[in-house]
Chains A and B, each alone.
Chain A
Amino acid sequence: MDAEAADVALAQSGDGRAFERLYRTHVPRIHGLVRRMISTGEPEDVTQDVFVRAWEKLHTFRGEAAFGTWLHRLAVNVILAKRKTLGGERRRFGEDSGEMLERVAGREREPEHGIDFEEALRRLPDGARQVFILHDVQGYRHEEIAKLLGVVPGTSKSQLHHARMALRRNLER
Chain B
Amino acid sequence: MSDRWTDRLSEYLDGELGAADVAALEAHLPSCADCQATLEQLRRVVARAQALDDRPPTTDLWPAIARHVGVVSLDARRARRRLSFTVPQLAAAAVALTLLSAGSAWLLLRRPAGAPPSQSTTTPSPILTNVGTYEANPRYAAAVADLERVLAQGRSRLDTATVRVIEKNLGIIDRAIRDAQSALAADPANSYLNLHLAQEMRRKLELLRQAAALAGART
A160 within 8 A of partner (CB): yes
Chain A residue at minimal CB-CB distance from B53: A32
Q: B22-30, B91-99, B169-177, B205-213: which lies at the A interface? A: B205-213
Q: A23-31, A78-86, A89-97, A106-114: which lies at the B interface? A: A23-31
Interface residue from B11, B54, B143, B212 paired with A28 (Cβ < 8 Å): B54
Total contacts A to B, CB within 8 angstroms? 144
A76 within 8 A of partner (CB): no
A3 within 8 A of partner (CB): yes
CB pair B65–A136 under 8 Å, yes or no, is no
CB pair A13–B54 under 8 Å, yes or no, is no
CB pair B202–A20 under 8 Å, yes or no, is no
Distance in angstroms from B2 CB to nearest chain A CB is 9
CB pair A28–B55 under 8 Å, yes or no, is yes
CB pair A17–B74 under 8 Å, yes or no, is yes
Interface residue from B55, B71, B146, B206 paired with A1 (Cβ < 8 Å): B146
In whole angstroms, how far apart are the Cα atoms of A48 and B56 in the complex?
12
Question: 0/1 per residue, B48-69, Cβ < 8 Å to A?
Answer: 1110111111110110111011
CB pair A3–B127 under 8 Å, yes or no, is no
B44 within 8 A of partner (CB): yes
B181 within 8 A of partner (CB): no
CB pair A164–B57 under 8 Å, yes or no, is no
Interface residue from B56, B71, B137 paired with A27 (Cβ < 8 Å): B56
CB pair B139–A44 under 8 Å, yes or no, is no
Question: 0/1 per residue, B138-157, Cβ < 8 Å to A?
Answer: 11101100110000000000
B128 within 8 A of partner (CB): yes
Chain A residue at minimal CB-CB distance from B147: A6
B9 within 8 A of partner (CB): yes
B10 within 8 A of partner (CB): yes
Instruction: Identify the A interface with B (CB < 8 A).
Output: 1-3, 5-10, 12-17, 19-20, 23-24, 27-29, 31-33, 36, 43-44, 47-48, 51-52, 55-56, 59, 62-63, 117-118, 132-133, 136-137, 142, 157, 160-161, 164-165, 167-168, 171
CB-defined A-B contacts under 8 Å, sample of 6: A14-B127, A32-B53, A48-B64, A118-B52, A137-B49, A168-B38
The 9 closest A-B pairs by CB, nearest first: A16-B71, A14-B125, A32-B54, A136-B49, A168-B41, A161-B10, A1-B146, A28-B54, A55-B69
